[in-house]
Chain A
Amino acid sequence: MAEAGFYHALKVDDELCYGCTHCMNVCPTGAIRIRNGKASIRADWCVDCGECMRACPVDAIYVEQDDFDKIFRFKCRVALVPAVLIGQFQSKVTEAEIFSVMRELGFTHVFQTEHTAGLINRTMIEVSREAMQKPVISSFCPAIVRLIQIKFPSLLDQVLRVKPPIDASAVYFRKRLEDEGIDPADIGIFYVTPCAAKIAAVKSPVGEEKSPLDGVINMSFIYNKIYRMVKNRHNNSSISPGEMLPLLSPRSIKHSLTGGEVSGMEGRCLAIDEIHNVIEFLEKLENDEIEGVDFLELRACDQSCAGGVLVGGNRFLTVERLHKRAVRFEGVADIPGDIKAYSNFMSKNLGIGELKPRSMMALDEDMGEAMRKMQQVRHLMCFLPGIDCGACGAPNCQSLAEDIVRRESQLSACVFIQRMMEKHSKLSGEHALRIIEKIWGKNRLDKNCNKKGAENDSE
């Protein structure tokens, strides 16, 4: 697998980033440092959860997305739409209306991501029954899968190797279109994504050679477009043609919300959302402190995908609306009839390959060398003040010590160490300033009334 070129969807805009420490302090894997006055994300530690993007006060962290026009490279342009897109609209806007607007935008087909959720659910139950070790963990959220690879490699074998709806549905719809006689090269499937993690999963899939998707569309981008067009239609009171759509069952509609998978699984199941909650729980699971649990639904975002970084609508309202919509579909089967006809094909294509550990916690590959480095870290911690202020460009003293041992920083990056060195005439004031400028950018300490909160801010 292409471990080296690990793709991340979260990027820092150096123009906008002014080198505060908000993102650095919230990153759950400690992957952010400040260098030259800008945030920099360590590629091998980032899990694309999007916490940094939420924390940034100036929107300098953004999600890299495909150019929308890319869809026009294909004759058959498929949008794969997750329920949380629909959940952002008031209930008077119908699914059919939203999808018809999307066709106006240029898609030839609009399909729902959760179309395969019922089938996945059934497969997960079957695979879980065979599982050697419980609890089994859902592979639904790509940020969580990456988190486990990096931080909890010993739990990797417990991750269910069943495709999440996005991949399963892409595989399914592609096959159906091919069977309709469409040239495979003409089919382009685009996922409307609520988060960065799904983008990363499409660009560098885990446990797969190649993603079954051709691209991703930022949900907030498309939401705004649809919203405007739907509003115009309502103003003109032109009634939308009302396209026939395969219906989703209530459970499939709620699949990406917290509890959505748990509701269909067997045994004792837990649903945990928000990445820090997940980390806390996985720590306990790894210590064998948790007993008798059969299945874990783990999602990186609060309120699961309704709280994805690219979901513009309020997450609690989105959840409420989807629950209300689901009621309307009472009685619809979890596994749609058209999928049943493909059950043979799908059973061969629902699995995913081996998930490899990417343990980035180790100070060194070699255990002896790692021990030597840990000694050094502990020695450095004797000198660092334990204030965890972040002025060194690392989130806390411990991280700085580890960075120094990895030769990525130096003791004099600590402003308090600088003071002590000056006192003992080991460092000149000039030199100390140069060190600070290297971390925080040139002229960072000069008077500047245009910065956020200063006299001329927002003028």
Chain B
Amino acid sequence: MKFKYEIEGGNFSKAGNASSEVKKILKQLNVPPPIIKRLVVALYEGEVNVVAHAWNGCIYVEIEPERIDVKIEDKGPGIPDIEQAMQEGFSTASQAVREMGFGAGMGLPNMKKNADQLNISSKVGKGTIVELVIFLNGKR
């Protein structure tokens, strides 16, 4: 089953809406709460990254009996050094974003921690694609 959500860059009041929608669906599918939690936390971080760092983007969620695939694709500045971005505490968030309580540099590490697989590809000046997988049968 496939779902798609648009994300508007810079609009923090809507950040989290897509994650909440996906959460509702997973509850209806009787996915175990710990798995829902992991997916939603990872998805929320990805969603906020698009809002905070990119211009606009899209979330694609595909749910199958044994796995959930998420692709977060954005148009934006891209990430020049992905390895550096993955480090805890690394952040380029603006002052304005920090004042809203984001920018601790914990988003990507948190996604890695919660997803079973995480893959990031990015083109500077064009955009970023974050793909993550969570397995439903508990295998990590």
Chain A interface residues (CB < 8 Å from chain B): 153-154, 283-284, 286-289, 291, 357, 359, 361-368, 370-371, 374-375, 378
Query: Which residues of A sit under 8 angstroms from B30, Cβ to Cβ?
Result: 359, 362-367, 370
User: What are some 27 contacts across the A-B interface (CB < 8 A)?
Assistant: A154-B34, A154-B37, A283-B20, A284-B16, A286-B40, A287-B19, A287-B20, A287-B44, A288-B40, A288-B41, A288-B44, A289-B16, A289-B44, A291-B101, A357-B33, A361-B27, A361-B28, A362-B30, A363-B28, A364-B30, A367-B30, A367-B136, A370-B30, A371-B1, A371-B29, A374-B1, A375-B1
- Taken together as a complex, chains A and B put the C-alpha atoms of A366 and B136 apart, in Å, by 13
- Whether B24 pairs with A361 at a CB distance below 8 angstroms is yes
- Interface hub of B19, B23, B30, B36 (most chain A Cβ within 10 A): B30
A284-B16, A287-B16, A287-B19 known; A374-B40 Cβ under 8 A:
no
Q: What total of A-B pairs shows CB separation below 8 Å?
A: 60
**CB closest chain-A residue, reference B41:** A288
Question: A287-B19, A371-B63, A371-B65 known; A154 and B36 CB under 8 Å?
Answer: yes
* Residues of the B chain whose Cβ atoms lie less than 8 Å from the Cβ of A291: 101
Q: Which of under 10, 10 to 19, 20 to 34, or 35 or more describes the interface residues of B?
A: 20 to 34
Which residue of B25, B33, B37, B44 contacts A374 across the interface (Cβ within 8 Å)? Answer: B25
Q: When A and B form their complex, which 6 residue pairs have the shortest distance between CB atoms, in order from nearest?
A: A362-B30, A154-B33, A361-B27, A370-B29, A288-B41, A287-B44
Determine which of B16, B20, B31 lies in contact with A367 in the assembled complex, contact meaning CB atoms within 8 Å: B31
Per DSSP, are chain B's interface residues mostly helix, strand or loop, or mixed? helix
* B residues whose Cβ falls under 8 Å from a Cβ of A: 1, 16, 19-20, 23-25, 27-31, 33-34, 36-37, 40-41, 44, 63, 65, 101, 136
Query: Complex Cα distance A154/B1, Å?
Result: 24
Which residues of A are found within 8 Å of B36, using beta-carbon distances?
A: 154
**Extra contacts besides A284-B16, A362-B29, A366-B30 (12): CB < 8 Å:** A283-B23, A286-B40, A287-B40, A288-B41, A291-B101, A359-B30, A361-B24, A362-B30, A363-B29, A367-B31, A367-B136, A370-B30
Give A286 to B28 CA distance when docked, in angstroms.
Answer: 16
Q: How far is the CA of A291 from the CA of B31 in the complex (A)?
A: 25
Return B105 CB to nearest CB of chain A, in Å.
14
What is the CA–CA distance of A374 and B33 in the complex, to the nearest angstrom? 18
Q: How far is the CB of B33 from chain A (nearest CB, A)?
A: 4
Q: Give CA–CA (A175, B25) in the complex, Å.
A: 48
Complex: how many Å from CA A351 to CA B1? 44
The residue in A287, A289, A368, A370 that gathers the most chain B C-beta atoms within 10 A of its C-beta is A287
* A362 and B27 contact, Cβ closer than 8 Å, known pairs A287-B44, A289-B44: yes
A447: min CB distance to chain B, Å: 43
Complex alpha-carbon distance, A294 and B20, angstroms: 23
What's the minimum C-beta distance from B42 to chain A, rounded to whole angstroms?
Answer: 10
Measured CA separation A389–B121 after assembly (Å): 45
**What separation, in Å, do the CA atoms of A365 and B31 have in the docked complex?**
9
Residues of B close to A363: CB separation below 8 A: 28-30
Return chain A residues, CB-CB under 8 Å to B44.
287-289
A394 to chain B, nearest CB (A): 16
Residues of A within 8 A of B31 (CB): 367
CA gap between A364 and B24 in the complex, in Å: 14
A218 to B113, CA, bound (A): 51
Given known contacts A154-B36, A287-B19, A371-B63, is B27 in contact with A359 (CB within 8 Å)? yes
